[in-house]
């Protein structure tokens, strides 16, 4: 892929009413023209909240908005026919579809079962009480609305390792289910937070059950027949044993000759944790570069007090660029969400330049930054808040600049705490650029571009600076940018091409 870019084509507060698939279909040509190579769609499967579900409370993986279940036929985003139309429109525009894979848990069971459980210390999941509690739990999924179409598999308590609610006695907490697969406790090769972070929510799927693994292999074959897919985003992988995704991804890739683009959400700012996970899955997925994201967040908060020279310290894109997917925001970090840590608006053009125009990593664009959104929700303070996230005005131009000018060898000029720059040398087929960024006052950077670019006039593609900068006989030039801003300098002769 030439300069791939992922668009997260949704956000947490996208309006209900089945409108997204129609919007995706309508906007497919536009995002293709911007150079988007992949569109990451939200979970397209029926959730426990039916038409109100964002999609991460998975109920039925085989219901893409086709069956009357959980109070609706369509999902929050539309019906199955609309999803297929949207996917086909993206494909016609040269944009691959990335489906969101949510297989950590299930919610909204159809029936209760008699089960035996052990109580678990929520703050230390390895502390499992020896007492056996006989109770009822919502662990049986029969999908009566689908009536066995596509799959007749029934999920029961043997498919799960834990729940967070039991009846008779009625209790909330974390409970390890006692079955044929849980004698040794929780799964291994999961995150070590809270002792063992296998359990997250709902009925926790246990991948040690061979029938479960077989069903998930069958499901992905079915999904590929229903929707044209070019890749996947894997949800909550820190809670899923790495050995499962190592094997499952090998199976998925065996279904096609051309490679899938796969990125997993392992939300940790610890680079060593991310590197360890990549070793465990034998490099079969990319990961979101959470350490870089947190650096961008802090840089946006600290302004000129942040040392831009340290921006890529201890980041995945610097350590292992071939497995790094960079981002400037997502549905979990947007305001009023659990992982709220937004990049401040003033810094977003700088942040997008730092992920879109560099050589390393595959960048992600977040829906609100491209289209702008407004929503309301209750904050942690208990009050209602109205959130306005305006579109980043420079983003379409930065996306076009990635396709037109982000080519060739990269040279960094990270020699000042408040003003940094990097160049892309260009290739025989495509021109390069000079990118200058300041988080303080107006800045400038002396750059050597070589005799091949001697005596050449350059202009700011973003239009932030009005002057023309001409290199000298040796191809040297002093390139500028405004305070708290970014300029992308390109050959004047290429400005209108």
- Written as one string, the DSSP assignment of 55-103 is S-SEEETT-SS-S-BTTBSSBTTB-HHHHHHHHHHHHHTT-EEEEEE--
- For residues 260 and 256, what is the distance between their CA atoms, to the nearest angstrom? 8
Catalytic residue flag (residue 235):
yes
- For residues 423 and 408, what is the distance between their CA atoms, to the nearest angstrom? 9
What is the Cβ-side half-sphere exposure of residue 21, based on CA atoms within 13 angstroms? Answer: 23
Query: Is 381 known to sit in a ligand binding site?
Result: no
Query: Is 247 known to sit in a ligand binding site?
Result: no
Straight-line distance from the first to the last Cα atom of the chain, in angstroms, rounded to the nearest whole number: 22
Does a cis peptide bond (omega within 30 degrees of 0) precede residue 169?
yes
Are the CB atoms for 289 and 326 separated by under 8 Å? Answer: yes
List the catalytic residue out of 23, 265, 289, 320.
265
List the catalytic residue out of 235, 369, 394, 460.
235
- For residues 39 and 365, what is the distance between their CA atoms, to the nearest angstrom? 10
Catalytic residue flag (residue 265):
yes
Query: Is 206 known to sit in a ligand binding site?
Result: yes
* Contact partners, residue 42, CB within 8 Å, separation at least 6: 9, 10, 14, 20, 54, 55, 77, 100, 331
Alpha helices in 267-364 (DSSP H): 271-280, 290-302, 316-319, 348-356
Question: If you ran DSSP here, which 8-state letter would residue 155 be given?
Answer: B
Query: Is 196 known to sit in a ligand binding site?
Result: no
- For residues 388 and 366, what is the distance between their CA atoms, to the nearest angstrom? 14
Of the candidates 396, 103, 370, the residue with the CA atom closest to the CA atom of residue 252: 103
Strands of the sheet with 410-413, listed across from one edge: 410-413, 419-424, 433-438, 485-491, 457-460, 469-470
- For residues 207 and 450, what is the distance between their CA atoms, to the nearest angstrom? 57
The three-state secondary structure class of 228 is coil
Strand runs (DSSP E) across 95-242, as ranges? 96-101, 105-106, 111-121, 124-128, 133-140, 160-166, 171-177, 203-205, 231-234
Of the candidates 259, 310, 248, 315, the residue with the CA atom closest to the CA atom of residue 287: 315
Residue 475: count other Cβ atoms within 10 Å of its Cβ: 16
H/E element, 481: strand 476-481
Q: Catalytic site residues? A: 235, 265
Task: Show binding-site residues.
Answer: 104, 198, 206, 239
Report the binding-site residues for Ca(2+).
104, 198, 206, 239
């Amino acid at each position: 892929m030439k300069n791939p870019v992922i668009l997260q084509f949704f956000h947490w507060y996208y309006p209900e009413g089945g409108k997204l698939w129609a919007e995706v279909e309508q906007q497919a040509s536009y995002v293709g023209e911007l150079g988007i190579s992949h569109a990451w769609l939200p979970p397209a499967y029926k959730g426990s909240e039916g038409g109100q579900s964002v999609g991460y409370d998975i109920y039925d993986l085989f219901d893409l908005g086709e069956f009357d279940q959980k109070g609706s036929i369509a999902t929050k985003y539309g019906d199955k026919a609309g999803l297929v139309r949207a996917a086909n429109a993206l494909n016609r525009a040269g944009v691959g579809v990335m489906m969101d894979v949510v297989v950590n848990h299930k919610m909204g069971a159809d029936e209760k079962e008699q089960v035996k459980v052990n109580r678990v210390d929520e703050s230390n999941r390895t502390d499992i009480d020896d007492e056996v509690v006989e109770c009822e739990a919502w662990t049986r999924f029969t999908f009566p609305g689908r009536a066995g179409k596509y799959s007749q598999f029934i999920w029961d308590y043997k498919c799960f390792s834990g729940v967070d609610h039991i009846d008779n006695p009625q209790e909330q907490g974390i409970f390890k289910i006692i079955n044929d697969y849980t004698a040794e406790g929780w799964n291994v090769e999961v995150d070590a937070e809270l002792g063992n972070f296998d359990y997250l929510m709902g009925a926790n799927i246990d991948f040690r059950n061979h029938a479960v693994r077989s069903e998930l292999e069958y499901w992905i074959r079915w999904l590929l027949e229903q929707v044209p897919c070019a890749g996947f985003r894997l949800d909550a992988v820190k809670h899923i044993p790495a050995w499962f995704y190592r094997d499952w991804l090998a199976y998925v890739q065996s279904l096609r000759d051309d490679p899938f683009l796969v990125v997993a959400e392992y939300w940790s700012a610890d680079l060593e944790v991310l590197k360890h996970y990549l070793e465990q899955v034998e490099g079969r997925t990319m990961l979101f570069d959470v350490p870089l994201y947190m650096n961008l967040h802090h840089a946006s908060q600290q302004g000129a007090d942040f040392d831009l020279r340290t921006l890529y310290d201890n980041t995945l894109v610097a350590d292992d660029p071939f497995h790094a997917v960079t981002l400037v925001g997502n549905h979990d970090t947007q305001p009023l969400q659990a992982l709220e840590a937004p990049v401040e608006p003033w810094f977003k053009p700088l942040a997008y330049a730092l992920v879109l125009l560099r050589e390393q990593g595959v960048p992600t664009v977040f829906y609100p930054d491209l289209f702008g959104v407004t929503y309301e929700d209750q904050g942690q303070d208990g009050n209602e808040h109205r959130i306005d996230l305006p579109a980043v005005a420079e983003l379409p131009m930065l996306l076009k600049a990635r396709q037109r000018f982000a080519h060739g060898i990269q040279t960094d000029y990270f020699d000042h705490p408040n003003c940094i720059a990097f160049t892309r040398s260009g290739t025989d087929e495509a021109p390069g650029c000079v990118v200058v960024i300041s988080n303080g006052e107006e800045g400038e950077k002396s750059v050597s571009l070589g005799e091949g670019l001697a005596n050449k006039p350059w202009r700011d593609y973003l239009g932030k600076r009005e002057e023309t900068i001409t290199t000298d006989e040796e191809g040297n030039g002093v390139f500028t940018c405004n305070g708290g801003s970014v300029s992308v300098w390109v050959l004047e002769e290429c400005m209108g091409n």
